[in-house]
Structure 1
Amino acid sequence: MKKRTLLLPLIGLSLLMTGCAKWIDRGESVTAVGSSALQPLVETVAEAYQTENPGEFINVQGGGSGTGLSQVQSGAVDIGNSDLFAEEKKGIDAASLVDHKVAAVGITPIVNKGVGVSDISLENLKKIFLGEITNWKEVGGKDQEVVLLNRAAGSGTRGTFEKWVLDGETAKRAQEQDSSGMVRQIIADTPGAISYVAFSYVTDDVATLSIDGVEPTDENVTTNEWIIWSYQHMYTKGEPQALTKEFLDYILSDEVQESVVGELGYIPVSRMEVERDWEGNVIQ
């Protein structure tokens, strides 16, 4: 989202702050925290919702899926955004939370454009992140050291990647970043670098890798041919009420799902041809 600079007279600023306080007092403010993979979608939809509903405020923050789940469970925020099912996070009482799946998103390995590799086997990708392959020439690329970059431990994107690529093992200790946007920038600027991001973060300054000939596309996610994907969850503590319910209904509306969700690189839940449970089993 582009940053905007708004110059207000002192009196106007005072009125604006007073107005915000009144929204909070009336329960017309919602805070959603968590997954950075989901953040661009929630921010965009929040801005549209606020435009259509003056006087109602949706505050969106990142911090990772673990943060979102723990904060919504504690009651510190209204919505916890997560790439993972609540059942997958230790210390989270999933039974106390209500899951609202608002989209699905593919996750892809990304590399610096100079590595000389465009396709890799799942086995070799796993070996790279476990530190068993350390030079790109070992997988048909340039004679160049592999530079690993991971998301932080609480990241749902990392959790999904480790689940499906590393069979649940932990990636080799490496530099970590909280932000998917920063991961992409570092990969673009660092020779030999590799990491992973949601499809929605892929831009022309990095290259994606196909795996065993399967391309990281929305179509391949919908059929589960590309297995590295997750639902985008917006959890509430109990059934949502008031503005929280209104905002969730809005993001799940046909209009938003059919326009905004797809345009931002996510996949509407209605397009998924398969369904997975929290253990990864295909149930439809």
Structure 2
Amino acid sequence: MKLIDCPRDAMQGWPTFIPTTQKIAYLNGLLRVGFDTLDFGSFVSPKAILQLADTTEVLDGLDLAQSGTRLLAIVANLRGAETAAQHPQIRYIGFPLSVSETFQQRNTNKSIAEAFDDVTRMQELCARTGQQQVVYLSMGFGNPYGDPWSPEILGEFTQKLDALGVGIVALSDTIGASTPATIAPPFRELTAAFPHIEFGAHLHTTPATWREKVQAAYEAGCRRFDGALGGYGGCPMAADALTGNMPTERLIEFATEKGEELHLNTEALAEAMQLNQEIFAGH
């Protein structure tokens, strides 16, 4: 079971700017924990997300020498991918591809067809740089716009991504709409149809529903999970104020119960949790 901690997702919507030095200290703390991957930042327009305008400066301050954790950066277009590709210490370049035409337009100001063109060019870019693209199928568990959604549609998108050579696909709960009934069928079908692709779950949850969601994905074959310590961030469009990112500490709890070996540094985890509270509970 792989854990991807996503401080970028926790920070991006935070109402007050988190100082660059504080971000660096927190991310270096997370790097010492031993997560598989750290979704650390994003190369997007500062006009879109001011909180992440310092991603390059943050990257320069990270101590990667003593950490086996790999870095993932999110981009919204080819320009962002080209910037990420200039930093060889970034292993993964993540791109949100929506299965909802409405949300793709709202999120990236492009159609799904145009977004697929970007995915194609990003895949070619990664082939040249030795990096790897991670495609997030946003609105992966339904959408509020009335756009079509089904496990079959997710399969069609994955078929196209597979043809391009994309090896990691994460179904993403963009608005907190996921339930076990919408989580299990896609993972069950996709993991069977595309055994060579690594499927991930980027779930949002309320405090009361986290376990049933993780359980549904796990039992359906998913072994890659995104989370954020404390469950901060993740769901600005949700109607429920309690909905946020899947708390990484809950994922650790679940993995431990299942006998999954995570090889985490528990002392470093406790220190990272303290830094997390200083940032998010202190603002």
Per the normalisation by structure 1, the TM-score is 0.25
Higher helix share: 2
Per the normalisation by structure 2, the TM-score is 0.25
Max Rg structure: 1
Higher relative contact order at CA 8 Å, sep ≥6: structure 1 or structure 2?
1
